[in-house]
Amino acid sequence: MSTAVTQQVDEVKSTPWSGGRSPFNVEYGKMMMWFFLLSDAFTFSSLLIAYGALRFSAPTWPSPSLVFQSIPGTSVEHGAPLVFVGLMTFILIMSSVTMVLAVEAGHRNSKKEVIWWMIGTIIGGLMFLGCQALEWNHLHSEGFWWSAIPNKETLEEFFAKGIPLAQQQMSSHQFANLFFTITGFHGFHVFSGVVINIIITINVLLGTYERRGSYLMVEKVGLYWHFVDLVWVFVFTFFYLV
């Protein structure tokens, strides 16, 4: 009797009206990662909304093509706007590509390929952090920093003539505080991702996931890394392009 009932239930499940796969049929750790990324997205969104509100309510604002026109560590002071941050963006995007390849290799249980692609991702993250440190140091030398007000000569380079000095100082002060806070918060996420990637790579070298028969942890950290890259696209747009 029980066998017949089971057979009838199986037949019902196989009909077109039985529904598809449950969307919650996901590994617990991966679902928790998605919840974390969602909450983190709210944090970044609130910061960028605050920046946008101040940016578009201010009568004047530092021009990105002027603030970011020079390349840190070189004598190029004019004619190359956004070149350096473009390089930073390219490095971070390429690190996302290597992470995709690491996840794909994990699905094939190719330990050696996972190791090399993870190392490439780590190198990309470290290069991005190094570039960000150079950019911060360069902007600091230009007079932009937390709670610092650039001198009159610096302000004249980044604002149109005729804008009152007090308004220039207020706008540059707000710009610097938000820029270093938001890019610093993102940089902290990149640094955390690099540390996590190093830990995951060590576990891959030790054969931890090979013994488990699954490289799911690589996929989880990959979600985090792609999120960090996606956030940078919005940071890049808000600060460097708008």
Q: Where are the domains of the chain?
A: 79-241
Question: Which pLDDT score, from 0 to 100, does residue 82 have?
Answer: 80
Predicted local distance difference test score (pLDDT) of residue 2 = 47
- pLDDT of the residue at 214: 87
Angle between the N-to-C axes of helices 216-236 and 165-205, in degrees from 0 to 180, rounded to the nearest 10: 170
Q: How many residues does the chain have?
A: 242
CATH 1.20.120.80 fits 79-241, yes or no: yes
Which segments in the chain show pLDDT lower than 50? 1-2, 5, 8-9, 11-12
The pLDDT value recorded for residue 24 is 61
Contact 189, 231 (CB under 8 A): yes
Considering only CA atoms, give the Rg of the chain.
24
Contact by Cβ (8 Å): 109, 215? yes
Q: What is the pLDDT of residue 104?
A: 94
pLDDT for 5: 44
